[in-house]
Structure 1
Amino acid sequence: MSRHKSNPEKQMTIFGHLTELRRRVIISLLFFLGCAVIAFILYDGIIQLFTLQFKSIQSGLGATLFANSITEGFLVKLKTAAIFGLIFSLPVHIVNLVQFVFPAIDRKYRKIVTIGLFASFLLAAFGAYLTYFRIVPFSIRFLTNSGFIPKSVGVLLSYQESITYVLSFLLWAIITFQTPLVLEILLALNVIKRKAVFRASRYVIVGIVILSAVITPSVDPVSQLSIALPLVLLFFLAILVAKIFKLGES
């Protein structure tokens, strides 16, 4: 009889977790769809932010974005809305994830998680700012300068490829700029040790450079290093913060 009484309790506990997980997934999905719909409606204003990036191209015959199929404009609009929906609903996804696992986290680590949540938003904003206002404009100017494209040659840019170029830069920068935070949390939870991470720093730097080369849509090394350098600096900053607060030592 005791076994019969304990099983329903266990099943209810598992069912409760699954119900809570489903509820949070639905909330995240609804926020994503809502943000995507808003981005779809406000597309004209949003797309101007991206086409503006290509105004700096110096060419004697000018630079023009063009669509090479009748469906390209619609596909770009859908892709832009989806990526913007993901970016702007990302805080909700992160908060949902944290709230779901929060009850299972030891009380002494909850403050670390809360601070990490705030730092996540700051890193995402920093990555987006750096990419849109610094890295992407520099990358476009570098790849289209007169050393590569003579001024006697006009520039015809694919609408879809050009917008995807900027969107990919933006999305991957936001995601990869979370890696220092992940490192800090692992150190705070003593999953890894600070001294071991520092000793492996040369391998981490190589890994960051390789990762930047893989995720960067541009083929030029300058743009790839523009992503890699801030990540390397953030990596060592995370190590310094861990040393100050004695994280990853016990």
Structure 2
Amino acid sequence: MSFIDHLEVLRGHLFRSVVAIVIGAVIIAIYQSFFIKHVLLGPTRPDFPTYGFFCRIGRALHLEKALCMQGIGIKMQSTSVAGQFSTFISILLIGGIIIAFPYIFYEFWRFIRPALTKKELKSTRGVIFWVSFLFFLGVFFGYFVIAPYTLNFFGNFQLDENIENRWQLSSYFDTMIPLILGTGLAFQLPLVMLVLAKIGLVSATYLRKMWKYAVVLILIIAAIITPGPDVVSQMTVAIPLLILYGVSILLAKRVEKEQAEEEKEWS
């Protein structure tokens, strides 16, 4: 195929991806009341599932102060003429991307798949499922764990009792989206390490050697994501990331084992 032919094929994949995003956005528009009140603004409500779940765990472990959260109950405002409308359009776009993510990656995979060898295709079997699974796992973790801790910290933080927290709607949205999408992408760590191991940039030995630095880096990231001073909230974020790093080591070790067996066959 010529370069122009490749662009023509790419255009088709992009067009179908955009259609999938539009369909996802239409779904959110139809059920906008539910998505805005119970999903987007869910972590601000005292009946948000995370608060009751972690509070029950806190009572069982005698850590009520560290794990119990009550919701923030902050009034929001929109100070620009088209502020609420522009935020609504952003909600449709981001929500459509999240809903359509598996299909978007499927179209991306269809575009690059013809360039792979049979051996590479065999080693990437199930990639669409695992990429989508880890993405949604990260999105749910960011939404149900990281977002409530972050919002509670900022919602209850006061320089003085005479200063009232009253958030801009756009500021709230701009805080939530990076937390959710960023965590979804961060949970792709094992697959990224798997690809790097396959092309020889990292190894299980190297990852094990760097685990001390990885732990420090993960703890720093957890402290940034959960600005509260308590150790329990930071470990709630750090533990899943440490588990993902451990999974990355196991995957890299598996790649090394497969490559060693192939070298034996050729020798």
Query: If the TM-score is normalised by the length of the shorter chain, which range does it land in?
Result: 0.7 to 0.9
Alignment-derived partner of residue 196 in structure 2 = 186
Distance 1:71 1:209, change over 3 A: farther
Give distance in 2, aligned partners of 1:234 and 1:183: 10
Deviation, 1:113, is 1.6
Q: TM-score, normalised by structure 1?
A: 0.77
Q: Map Cα deviations across residues 47-99 of structure 1 (whole Å, 9 max, x no partner).
A: 11122211238699x63122223321111101111111221222122111212
Q: Establish whether residue 175 from structure 1 lines up as the match of residue 185 from structure 2.
A: yes
Q: Secondary structure at the match of 1:197?
A: helix
The one of the two structures with greater contact order (alpha-carbon pairs below 8 A, sep at least 6) is 1
What SS class does the counterpart of residue 114 from structure 1 fall into? coil
Aligned to 2:66: none
- State the secondary structure of the residue aligned to 1:142: helix
Aligned to 2:33: 44
Distance 1:190 1:96 in 2: 27
TM-score by length of structure 2 reads 0.72
What residue in structure 1 maps to residue 58 of structure 2?
none
1:77 aligned residue: 88
Equivalent residue for 1:197, pick from 201, 207, 215: 207
Alignment of 1:65-104 (within 5 A): 65-104=76-115
2:6 to 17, 20, 31: 17
1:87-126 → structure 2 map (5 Å cutoff): 87-126=98-137
Q: 1:13 to 1:152 in 2, by over 3 A?
A: closer
5+ residue gaps in structure 2? 47-68, 261-267
> Using the alignment, how far apart are the partners of 1:177 and 1:212 within structure 2?
14
Question: Please, which moves more after superposition, 236-245 or 165-174?
Answer: 236-245
Which residue of the other structure, out of 147, 154, 159, is the alignment partner of 1:143? 154
Q: Which SS does the other structure have where 1:17 is aligned?
A: helix
Rounded Cα–Cα distance in structure 2 between residues aligned with 1:29 and 1:213: 36
2:44 counterpart residue number = 54
CA separation of 1:59 and 1:226: change in aligned 2, threshold 3 A: closer
Distance 1:30 1:101 in 2: 20
Structure 1 residue 225: Cα displacement: 6.5
Unaligned runs of 5+ in 1: 1-11
Q: Work out whether residues 66 and 157 of structure 1, in 8 Å CA contact, stay in contact via their aligned partners in 2.
A: yes
| Cα offset, 1:46, TM superposition | 1.0
Q: Distance in 2 between matches of 1:142 and 1:198?
A: 34
Q: Secondary structure at the match of 2:166?
A: strand
Distance in 2, Cα, partners of 1:113 & 1:52: 37
- Give the distance between the partners of 1:41 and 1:233, measured in 2 at CA: 38
CA pair 226-168 structure 1, distance change in 2 beyond 3 A = farther
Amino acid at match of 1:98: W
State percent identity of aligned pairs: 24
Q: Which moved more, 1:79-88 or 1:148-157?
A: 148-157
Secondary structure (helix, strand or coil) at the match of 1:69 reads coil
Tell me the SS of whatever aligns to 1:144.
helix
- In the alignment, structure 1 residue 35 sits paired with structure 2 residue 45: no
Q: After the TM superposition, which of the residue ranges 22-31 and 222-231 deviates more from structure 2?
A: 222-231
CA distance in 2 between partners of 1:50 and 1:160 (Å): 12
Which of 235, 241, 249 in structure 2 is aligned with 1:239?
A: 249
